[in-house]
Amino acid sequence: MAKKRRKRTITSYVLWFNFIAIICIAFYFHKPIIKYSFRAYRWYARKHNKGKVSPANFPMQYGVHGIDVSHYQPDIDWEHLASIATNGDTVRFQFVFIKATEGAWWEDELFAEHWENAKDNDIIRGAYHYFLPNKDAKKQAKNFIESVDLEKGDLPPVIDIEETKGLSKDEIVKAVKDYALVIEQHYNVKPIIYSNRNFIEDYLAEDFPEYTFWIAHYYEQDLNIDECEWRFWQHTDKASLLSTGAKIDANVFKGSIGDLRALLLKDKTPSFRQN
């Protein structure tokens, strides 16, 4: 019986060693694993979505259109960034907001790839951070700054806040202001604030009068809101790209392309490593 127990013990050690080795290998090679996993998914998504382009309602009274993407949109044809409206018009996208970070440590898996692709294809680009008001605001700002080097011609950084996490209005406002102050000091520009219309009206509008807002409010013909000054409107989550069929959120800018360019950064900002 003793020999059998010893044999089982050795077998257990071998299994545990193999398990730990697999974990270590996966951790060491996690970036190429993620990269090739997304490539495989892109191939599948493009094959699956081919021909499945759904027209969406676009507020055609606006002339400047854009999208926002994250790792949930791996299949982007950056050379042919367009969609189709229900009236049959082709809508070409001129700007993109790209998710960079979330919380105090996480960076979006496809941020770097989307960021470079947008630049290479002359798409006006901006980066956003998904803000968690119950987490340390300064650590979250550091996470974004470490991940995002903004250049001349980029949009100001965006703070995306959609959850209260059980905090009061005063606590939420303080957290957002603490985060925004660090971002503004580093990039020398006030961040854009993104949220849905109700959240902005209930928690943010009266305390951030000098900030530009990007508002999510779906399936309406126009966005009529007096509580804050908005420049970007995310009007649908049901648009799709003509070339791939990929589902994307669509946005408009309130103003001309010249007005949009006037918002862009005038100088390259210092990287975190230079501070």
Question: Which residues are designated catalytic?
Answer: 68, 162
Strands 82-84 and 124-130: unpaired
Structure tokens at 75: 């299949």
* Single-letter amino acid, residue 138: K
> Taking the CB of residue 60, how many other CB atoms lie within 10 A of it?
14
Cα angle for residues 178, 273, 180 (degrees, 5° grid): 15
b/e burial code for range 175-207 (CB count within 10 A of at least 16 → b): bbebbbebbbebbebbbbbbbebebbbebbbee
Write out the two tokens for 51: 């021909």
Q: Where are the beta strands (DSSP E) in 51-137?
A: 64-69, 82-84, 90-102, 106-107, 124-130
Beta bridge partners of 97: 68, 126
Tokens of 50: 């081919």
Q: Report how far residue 238's alpha carbon sits from residue 246's, in angstroms, rounded to the nearest whole number.
A: 10
Cβ neighbourhood burial of 112 (10 Å; 0-12, 13-18, 19+): middle
